[in-house]
Structure 1
Amino acid sequence: MSLVSVHNEWDPLEEVVVGTVRGARAPVAVGYAGRTEGAAGACHGRRRDAAPVLWPDRVLKETEEELEELCEELRGLGVTVRRPRTRDRAACADVLGRTDDGRRPRAGLLTVGDTVIETPTALRARFSEPFAYRELLTEYLVSGSRWISAPEPRLTGAMYDLGAPPGERLREREPVFDPANVLRLGTDLLYLVSDSGNELGARWLQSAVGGTYTVHPCRGLHAPTPLDLTLLPLRPGLLLTNPSRVTGGNLPAVLRSWRRIECPEPAGPGGAGDAPHRSTWTGTGLLVVRPGLVVVDGRQRELMRVLERHGVDVLPLRLTHSRLLAGGFHGLVLDVRRTGALETYRF
């Protein structure tokens, strides 16, 4: 029986992969038109051939302890938790500085139904990230799951239009997108067209998942990534939205009948001494454990109050350095299996 089965963002979790920061490095931009996030900042087209930067041991130790706390809480809720194998720092980057440290499983892997998809990232520094999970992917394949990889993008300089407005800087030379560009709503897949995913990426994804699913390209929502910090389904018919990005005019048509909760202005997460490499909205990256229960950054007290007013229980946990490490709970966890069947949610 396939160990992989995910149809949406909210069905009760059965199995997840939680990333690790052991040996983690900050990615760097690689050559002309490199684009990355993290210690180098958002970098479009500026040449920064540099060695990967090691994060402070204190940051890695605190974060790994917090991830283990997340794992224990999930196990206590009956969820099977898998982790990538530990890698030494020297093995976590190739000669081009591309990392595969296992920090964010959702940075290169997307689960749809019984299939794991290795996505064609537009960020050169992320090229090797799925390698940290190859042993787990092989195990899932043997269990009966499908495992497919998108065509490896060349990511030449011609791929990037650095003078274009934000959200339009990827040319249509080849398919590229990140898993964070996609949200699963049963037979409907939302796809963010942005600086991390182009129109060809949406076409490739549609061809990969077949006629059972409809991929909905979403334009004009948010220029960079990810989609989960812009809108996130909490259960059928209930949606958390980022009011700084989502309006009645740009909300995807398939969601316009859903009830919306506007996310309050987030507290600015970050540990002492952290440089703010990501938006404060990183702290709103929720993990839906089941309808009615979400994991949330414990510093987001106003968000927790809003969720509870709408009948959503919260499990507050720590993720002190989420902005420095460029990932909230949603990005650091790959949902491998959720209960439930494939349905269509159009109200």
Structure 2
Amino acid sequence: MSLVNAHNEWDPLEEMIVGVAENARVPSPDPGLFALDYCEHHESQDEIPSGPYSERVVTEAHEDLEAFVDLLKGEGVTVRRPDITEHAKPFSTPDWQTDGEYNYCPRDVILPIGQTVIETPMALRSRFFEPFAYKEILLDYFRSGAKWISAPKPRLLDDTYRVRPESGLPLANLEPVFDAANVMRVGKDILYLVSCSGNELGGQWLQQILGDEYRVHFIRGAYEGTHIDTTVMVVRPGLVVLNPERIREDQIPPVFKDWDVIWAPEMGDTGYAWDYPRASIWQGMNFIMINPDLAVINDQQSPLIREIEKRGVQVAPLRMRQARTLSGGFHCVSVDVRRRGTLEDYSA
């Protein structure tokens, strides 16, 4: 029986991969890292603060991940972790050389849909070989009967990236490129955010791979920064949290047209370790559902917690102190591989 079975964001959780903070670092400068992550704060890629994160950042992130894992295990969830990797080691393709970043955000790396798990063609060179940290886990899933595929590896040449373009996205549409966190599963409806971490060709490739059983909905012109999970978060069928700074009422995805919408309240700032954060304050709405009646939310987000609880959902508040430094809240640092449920059509 396949160990992979994930059709949405809320069915009762049975197995999850949670990231690790060890050896987290900022990669060496390159055109993509600058164009997609750092050009807002620096004039040239040589100013990128490459190197390891401070011991305090890594220690606090590790402690918060371990507390999250303990909660999951207490709810009967099987938890797997990626291999701890030495990210400072350089690697190359025939076209470029770089080094790594971290294994903190498995949400970006692998995408389970149904009983298929997809290694995604991520936007940053530094994350090109990040799936290797999950190989033993993926082999177990494959042996259990899951389908395991990898998207075509992108070349990520210099012209893939554009620094502060006058129009269009910094990520060019030259080949399929997307992070798994650009995707949100709502049964047969798959939301795909077109942004700096996912281009049009990436969404087209995903639709072709998934076939007619699924409908990939492109979200354009809402949030073009990176991932979907600080803009749209699904609680359960009929209830969704939307970011009021990024989505207008006339932009609500059609699958949610008859749903109850929580417009995310003001977020509490969890702080960050540098002069500027890697993630916006909206990292606070990056939560995970253990089941339709239990959410794990950053403990600093009291207004959001109250809004969720008003809808009859229990909340487990936990610390995630370095979410803005490392760009990863509870949804980012985990990937739900198996949930107890079947494929449903929620827009029928």
Gaps of 5+ in 1: none
Residues paired across the two proteins, number? 344
2:154 corresponding residue in structure 1: 153
Superposition deviation, residue 33 in structure 1: 7.3
Closer/same/farther in 2, CA of residues 98 and 252 from structure 1, 3 Å limit: farther
> Are 2:193 and 1:192 equivalent residues in the alignment?
yes
Contact 1:206 1:215 (C-alpha < 8 Å) held by counterparts: yes
1:101 alignment partner AA:
Y
Superposition deviation, residue 34 in structure 1: 4.8
CA distance in 1, matches of 2:35, 2:148: 27
Closer/same/farther in 2, CA of residues 336 and 215 from structure 1, 3 Å limit: same
Gaps of 5+ in 2: none
1:181 corresponding residue in structure 2: 182
Superposition deviation, residue 225 in structure 1: 1.5
| Identity between Structure 1 and Structure 2 (%) | 44
2:13 corresponding residue in structure 1: 13
Contact 2:31 2:158 (C-alpha < 8 Å) held by counterparts: no
Closer/same/farther in 2, CA of residues 165 and 222 from structure 1, 3 Å limit: farther
2:339 alignment partner AA:
R
CA distance in 2, matches of 1:197, 1:276: 21
CA distance in 2, matches of 1:121, 1:289: 27
1:91-136 CA-partner distances (Å, limit 9, x unpaired): 5x53633326321111211110111111111222222222211111
1:333 corresponding residue in structure 2: 334
CA distance in 1, matches of 2:313, 2:287: 12
2:317 alignment partner AA:
P
Moved over 6 A (4+): none
2:2 corresponding residue in structure 1: 2
Contact 2:191 2:219 (C-alpha < 8 Å) held by counterparts: yes
1:15 alignment partner AA:
E
Contact 2:18 2:106 (C-alpha < 8 Å) held by counterparts: yes
CA distance in 1, matches of 2:43, 2:147: 36
CA distance in 2, matches of 1:179, 1:87: 20
TM-score, structure 2 normalization: 0.92
Contact 1:21 1:101 (C-alpha < 8 Å) held by counterparts: yes
RMSD: 2.3
CA distance in 1, matches of 2:339, 2:163: 40
TM-score, structure 1 normalization: 0.92
Superposition deviation, residue 295 in structure 1: 0.5
> Are 2:137 and 1:136 equivalent residues in the alignment?
yes
CA distance in 2, matches of 1:305, 1:166: 40
CA distance in 2, matches of 1:83, 1:32: 28
1:216 corresponding residue in structure 2: 217
Contact 2:25 2:101 (C-alpha < 8 Å) held by counterparts: no
Closer/same/farther in 2, CA of residues 5 and 44 from structure 1, 3 Å limit: farther
Superposition deviation, residue 57 in structure 1: 1.2
> Are 2:84 and 1:83 equivalent residues in the alignment?
no
1:94 corresponding residue in structure 2: 91
Contact 2:240 2:259 (C-alpha < 8 Å) held by counterparts: yes
Contact 1:100 1:126 (C-alpha < 8 Å) held by counterparts: yes
